[in-house]
Amino acid sequence: MTVFVRAETPDDIEAIYRLNTAAFDGRTEEADLVDALRSSGDLLLSLVAVRDAEPVGHIAFSRLIVDAADGPVGGVALAPVSVHPGCQSEGVGSVLIRAGLEKLAARSEQVVLVVGNPTYYSRFGFSTAAGKRYPSSHSGPHFMALVIGDPAGAPIGPVRYPEAFELVN
């Protein structure tokens, strides 16, 4: 299936809300999280995957803080990623994750954190072992990190998520 990935526009906002709600079986926490991140200015990158002019997938990246030894440094949270139930397991999620990570690398972002299924996210380089270097309110067996670029230069330390994440705690 061919999809085109692009940054969200204001015209996508309602479709993104519906898409996130549908992907999470009618639950609105993730859709509300995206809206809250957008409102608070913490949404770093929001991409939609479009097929036949319709958004069929969405991914959000937001700014979090790593309290590194030398002081606070910006990191990135990946959440949520959603693919319309009728289009899942066709590669859309993978395309969105890879496109997002490429854009973050181009912006010299260094560390991305995600909570999810380790079998799925390990495909993109995330690991639970790396996640252990970033203690946070989301730490646990599904908490993973990916260091982009030189691991020696990446900040390490406890992580503070944007306040909007209290919606999904």
Ligand X SMILES: CC(C)(COP(=O)(O)OP(=O)(O)OC[C@H]1O[C@@H](n2cnc3c(N)ncnc32)[C@H](O)[C@@H]1OP(=O)(O)O)[C@@H](O)C(=O)NCCC(=O)NCCS
Residues that bind ligand X (CB under 6 A): 23-24, 79-83, 88-94, 116-117, 119-120
What is the bridge-based pairing of β-strands 71-83 and 111-115?
parallel
Q: What are phi and psi of 91, to 5 degrees?
A: 95, 0
Cβ nearer to ligand X, comparing 25 with 150: 25
Smallest gap from residue 156 Cβ to ligand X (A)? 24
Cβ nearer to ligand X, comparing 17 with 120: 120
Smallest gap from residue 102 Cβ to ligand X (A)? 15
Q: Which residue is nearest to ligand X (CB)?
A: 93
Sign of the torsion angle spanned by Cα atoms 123, 74, 142, 152:
positive
Cα distance between residue 58 and residue 17, in whole Å: 10
DSSP state of 108: T
Cβ nearer to ligand X, comparing 66 with 77: 77
